[in-house]
């Protein structure tokens, strides 16, 4: 752990710098596979599934029977936990529905805004050791609430050609319309171009390794939207003297176990707290099954002592953390003043894990400083806002002249004509 | 004009295909200039301003004095038109403000969503023959309502090193905090990296030529967000027998005058209407100052006759037009059923020009089929949504066990520990 005391503001950028990766060599591979999937469809998908996942999948689409077996295989206790999480995520995202916004800006000029669902969306759920069924909930629940017609889920098959049961259980529970055994670059390419089996979608959501990340970026060049750019997961905890060191340490470690490149930062106005958290981390770390991973992330972590809350808040806003836990006497100062953060966790009994799984908020959040310019996934991520206007004869008479003058000043005569003709017809 | 009768659905994609451009050769230039601006700042900006705009600009920033002169130079009539437009745009975008959304998902688990402004934004306004002061309104007005702290505007200088007066007038009227005489790739690079004079911003908005478009795409690789991917402007008009041919023709022409690559489509359930519109277009075209441009766009335009409203709507949704005018007896059928469109204009007295300038809706809209997955610019484009949660002791007891079970099932023991420790402390 790196302990830093009262760093000067002009050193913050360097201290808070995130590791950057070059992706040039990956890009070539991704482009190649995109080309081949575009050209050969399912044949190319099968080939790369065999290469990367080491399995020949006969039928890409998960069958009714497989879903039934998966539902039967998930322990009741886990089902109940997933159902509770689903219910909370539903409550929070249903509340995000917005009504039509209607304004008569001038008499006879009726303008309104409505949100309509993106018709076809794709969800990518990684496979491997950690089956992220929680991400299925976080994406499929709001997609269903939004009213997306096609919700396609891609996840890589294991060596037996299967997808983890909990993922399948969550998918059928949350309204996914098609589940496909395909992962990695070939899955993103498949959803970008469409193949015989994989539907082409308009927007792709979900996490993944660096191949998936680069593939999602490339997909945007072919007209597909993505949820947000991705980077390693991050947590910044602000803990003053009122925090509980053991809790803070457990939160930092829960971030650290994600990956060796996880970003873990503690900001404190108490040196005593900082030392106590450090000690707790060492103790708790020993007991973790993913100790090897967490240890590496912790070695790169930063414990930063600052003089007061104002400096702390400035530094946190400069960083723009994905997850921000605040355990401080003056918590309102932080919640009111935070400008850049994905999701904010307040108080001693609000661990990041709660938001990761079951409290109801979404866990797909902007990393890598993107909290400065991107929203986390929310109901609106699955919709687009459209505007409408209806102008009456009176209305065009009220604003027509202004339009004519502006169009003329911009040198766009035909724009002016479209109004002039209408005004003349009303004379 | 290409007249097409009752095309089969399997031919729609080909008929509605938009022209694609290869940008490979532009990309190299853009990358070079980005590198140089990143390294040399203002020096590189000045160099490329000299190369591309043919002028040596001593002071990049527009001075108070220049703004004063510009304000004095704009004719009163135009000022009043701009003020009316601003007032309507304000009314419509202020109405888009959303309240904090707060839900207690389970007793003791308080979750809420708030939107906060993106702190630093950049607006790009093209120079050249058509001074797009209307776009200043469309971007700066909602940015100010959102509460963005820094609103930087870049626009290329003319041969005298000046920016068009109407652009400067609109900028100072709408709360732009800094105006810079810089255009093209070097402007986008400057706002991406920051230079001695140009502030680094978090999100860049605004239209531009293909160099600007590619530069904005490249900016996203350096952590900057952009409003949306760009393409040539488009208009699709649905006109049944109740439409007014002269009005429809004037709307199609107002789209056509934008550029030779503008997309102009008429869909009709009346062959008579189609013929009448065609005739009107020929007549009105003769009188346009931008006839040469409009003529080319019209030559590529499509007039499509379909059997009935249902087929028309399906075809329109497949296309996903940026601007969609509907002049039809059964207009509710279209406004209710439209899934993919940037902005919808309803009835005979609602020309696209109204939304381009003064009705109050935003004119920065998704082109190139992006209406399927992107919103037009709206108040939320200048904000990001953040979530907050505060869990009480009772709250964590209510959902703690579900989190433990899910974290364990995903193999994330430290996530579980963060909850277990807290639950134990409450025993």
Q: What is the DSSP string of B339-363?
A: -S-SEEEESTT--HHHHHHTSSS--
**Sorting pLDDT into bands at 50, 70 and 90, what band is A65?**
very high
Task: Classify A216 as helix, strand or coil.
Answer: helix
Decide: residue A160, CB within 10 A, 0-12 exposed, 13-18 middle, 19+ buried: exposed
Which DSSP symbol is given to A248? H
Q: Which stretch of A106-115, A286-295, B108-117, B394-403 has the lowest confidence by average pLDDT?
A: A286-295
Alpha carbon separation from A150 to A143, A179, A340, B27, B35 (Å, rounded)? 9, 11, 33, 35, 42
**Nearest CB to A78: which of B390, B405, B413?**
B405
Q: Which residues pair with A348 in a beta bridge?
A: none
| A300–chain B nearest CA distance, Å | 18
Has residue A261 got a pLDDT over 90?
A: no
Q: How confident is the model at residue A202 (pLDDT cuts 50, 70, 90)?
A: very high
Tokens of B375: 């919103």
| pLDDT of A353 over the 80 cut | yes
| pTM, to two decimals | 0.96
- Rounded to a whole number of angstroms, the distance from the CA of B417 to the nearest CA of chain A is 7
Q: Measured between alpha carbons, how far is A368 from A235 in angstroms, rounded to an integer?
A: 11
A119 is in an annotated binding site: no
Confidence of residue A22 (pLDDT cuts 50, 70, 90): low
Average pLDDT, chain A: 95
Cβ neighbours of A375 in B, within 8 Å: 384-386
On the question of pLDDT at A210 being above 90, the answer is no
- Taking 50 as the pLDDT cut, the residues of chain B under it are none
pLDDT at B20: 66
Q: Which of B358, B389, B410 lies nearest to residue A359, judging by beta carbons?
A: B389
Smallest Cα–Cα separation from B396: which of A91, A354, A253, A243? A354
Question: What is the set of active-site residues of A?
Answer: 322-323
- Of all residues in chain A, the one with the smallest CA distance to B343 is A387
- What is the DSSP secondary-structure string of B105-144? EETTEEEEEEEEE-SEEEEE---SSS--HHHHHHHHHHHH
C-alpha triplet B195, B201, B202: angle, nearest 5° = 145
CA distance B273 to A423: 21
Interface predicted TM-score (ipTM) of this complex, two decimals: 0.96
Q: Which of B129, B284, B364, B402 to mutate to test the interface with A (most CBs of A within 10 A)?
A: B402
Per-residue tokens: B275: 């013929």
A391 in Cβ contact with B349 (< 8 Å) = yes
Amino acid B260: pLDDT: 85
Contact B84 A380 (CB under 8 A): no
B372 vs A118, A289, A358: nearest CB = A118
> Which position among B66, B234, B280, B323 bears the catalytic label?
B323
Supply B134's token pair. Answer: 């209307």
CB A215 within 8 A of CB A185: yes
Find the helix packing angle between B245-256 and B271-285, rounded to 10°.
50
Q: Between residues A148 and A233, which one has the greater pLDDT? A: A148
DSSP 8-state secondary structure symbol assigned to residue A53? H
> What single-letter DSSP state applies at residue A104?
E
> Which pLDDT does position A341 carry in this prediction?
98
The residue-averaged pLDDT of A376-402 equals 98
Q: Are A239 and A327 in contact (CB under 8 A)?
A: yes
Helix orientation angle between B24-40 and B184-193, rounded to the nearest 10 degrees? 50
pLDDT in tens, B65-105: 999 999 999 999 999 999 999 999 999 999 999 999 999 99
pLDDT value at residue A23: 64
Burial environment of residue A311 by CB neighbours within 10 A (0 to 12, 13 to 18, 19 or more): middle
Q: What is the pLDDT of residues A39-52, one digit of tens each?
A: 999 999 999 999 99
Model confidence at A21, pLDDT cuts 50, 70, 90, reads low
């Amino acid at each position: 752990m790196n302990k830093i005391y009262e760093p000067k503001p002009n050193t913050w950028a360097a201290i808070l710098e995130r590791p950057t990766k070059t992706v040039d060599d990956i890009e070539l591979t991704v482009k190649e596979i995109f080309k081949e999937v575009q050209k050969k469809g399912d044949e190319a998908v099968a080939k790369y599934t065999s290469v990367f996942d080491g399995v020949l999948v006969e039928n890409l689409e998960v069958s009714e029977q497989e879903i039934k077996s998966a539902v039967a295989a998930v322990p009741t206790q886990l089902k109940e936990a997933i159902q509770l999480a689903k219910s909370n995520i539903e409550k929070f995202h249903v509340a995000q529905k917005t009504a039509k916004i209607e304004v008569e800006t001038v008499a006879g000029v009726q303008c309104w805004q409505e949100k309509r669902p993106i018709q076809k969306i794709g969800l990518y759920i990684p496979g491997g050791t950690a089956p992220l069924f929680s991400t299925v909930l976080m994406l499929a629940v709001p997609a269903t609430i939004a009213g997306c017609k096609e919700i396609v889920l891609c996840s890589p098959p294991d060596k037996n050609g299967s997808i983890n049961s909990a993922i399948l259980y969550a998918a059928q529970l949350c309204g996914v319309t098609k589940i496909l055994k395909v992962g990695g670059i070939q899955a993103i390419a498949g959803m970008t171009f469409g193949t015989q089996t994989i539907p082409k979608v308009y927007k792709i959501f979900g996490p993944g390794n660096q191949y998936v990340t680069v593939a999602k970026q490339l997909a945007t060049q072919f007209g597909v939207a993505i949820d947000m750019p991705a980077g390693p997961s991050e947590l910044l905890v602000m803990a003053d003297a009122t925090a509980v060191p053991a809790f803070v340490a457990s939160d930092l470690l829960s971030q650290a176990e994600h990956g060796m490149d996880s970003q873990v930062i503690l900001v404190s106005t108490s040196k005593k707290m900082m030392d106590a958290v450090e000690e707790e981390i060492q103790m708790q770390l020993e007991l973790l099954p993913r100790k090897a991973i967490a240890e590496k992330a912790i070695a790169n972590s930063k414990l930063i002592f600052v003089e007061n809350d104002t400096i702390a808040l400035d530094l946190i806003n400069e960083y723009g953390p994905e997850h921000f836990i605040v355990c401080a006497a003056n918590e309102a100062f932080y919640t009111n003043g935070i400008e850049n953060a994905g999701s904010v966790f307040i108080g001693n009994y609000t661990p990041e894990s709660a938001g990761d799984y079951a409290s109801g908020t979404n866990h797909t959040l902007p990393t890598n400083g993107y909290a400065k310019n991107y929203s986390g996934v929310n109901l609106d991520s699955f919709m687009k806002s459209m505007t409408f206007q209806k102008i009456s004869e009176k209305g065009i008479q009220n604003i027509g002249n202004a339009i004519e003058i502006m169009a003329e000043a911009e040198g766009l005569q035909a724009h002016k004509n479209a109004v002039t003709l209408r005004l003349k017809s009303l004379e």
